[in-house]
Amino acid sequence: MPRRRGARAGTPQPRSLALPGVIALIGVLSSAACASTGAVPAPFPRPGGAPAQSIGAPVHGTALVRTAMSFQGVPYRNGGGDPSGFDCSGLVAYVFARHGAVVPRTVSGQFSLGRGVRRGSIAPGDLVFFSTVAPGASHVGIAISGDQFVHAPATTGVVRVERLTSRYWSRRFVGARRLD
């Protein structure tokens, strides 16, 4: 690399990022889009005190599934929490809110709710959690059945249905929670 005019020999020179480096950086940042960092995008104010332990209203699982399924094809948007675009926890929070229930806006907050459910006992409306970018729960979806769930994945760009038994998701499954 040629030296800049007026630079001393042995002085490190600034480098520019090549296009492949920029593309790789964008890929890494977008793959972490649904990781729970504790950040709460507007318009979801962070409540004071302890995280919510109750969702406030009983919600029937099949009603949740019906609502979640109505958003298939909605684009993924990092921090999104409405039908113009959802991230994973935003989809869950929005669907529950449509049924009068309040859940935290982050994956970690949602993972702290309800009670654990064995994989073989997953029912419609249960939340299913995955480790996609870091150890522990970093992605969430809503169970449709014991084998299918609906979620907002960053990688495919739209709300869609997947199988828990697929190679990718079964390896990353960390648990299920029932919010009743």
pLDDT, tens digit, 9 for 90 and up, residues 2-55: 554 555 555 555 444 454 443 343 343 334 446 444 443 333 333 333 344 456
* Cut 0.75: pTM above it: no
Q: 34, 60, 99, 151: which one is catalytic? A: 151
Residues 75-80: what's their mean pLDDT?
96
Tell me how many helices (H) and strands (E) the chain has: 5, 8
Catalytic residue among 34, 60, 88, 99: 88
Q: Is 60 a catalytic residue?
A: no
At residue 155, the pLDDT reads 78
In the DSSP assignment, the letter for residue 20 is: H
- Domains belonging to the chain, first-starting first, are 58-178 (3.90.1720.10)
Report the mean per-residue pLDDT for the chain.
Answer: 79
**In terms of Cα–Cα distance, which of 136, 7, 114, 96 is closest to 51?**
114
What does the alpha-carbon distance between residue 58 and residue 71 come to, in Å, rounded to a whole number? 22
- 87 vs 58: which has the higher pLDDT: 87
Phi, psi for 2 (deg, rounded to 5): -70, 150
* CB-CB contact of 173 with 118 (8 Å): no
99 classed as catalytic:
no
Q: Given CA atoms 153, 158, 161, 167 in this order, what sign does their dihedral have?
A: negative
User: Rounded to whole angstroms, what are the CA distances from 26 to 33, 64, 129?
Assistant: 11, 33, 24
* pLDDT, mean of residues 68-84: 97
**pLDDT top residue among 56 and 152:** 152
Give tens-digit pLDDT for 128-145. 999 998 889 999 999 999
Give the rounded percent of residues in the chain with a pLDDT score beyond 70.
68
Q: Which has more pLDDT, 47 or 175?
A: 175
- Per-residue pLDDT, averaged over 79-84, amounts to 97
Confidence of residue 107 (pLDDT cuts 50, 70, 90): very high
**Residue 49's closest CA among 91, 109, 93, 107?**
109
Q: Judging by beta carbons within 10 Å of its beta carbon (0-12, 13-18, 19+), is residue 139 exposed, middle or buried?
A: buried
Longest dimension (CA), the chain: 71
Of the pLDDT bands very low, low, confident and very high (cuts 50, 70, 90), residue 156 is confident
- 88 part of the active site: yes
Residues in contact with 9: Cβ distance below 8 Å, sequence separation at least 6, in sequence order: 3
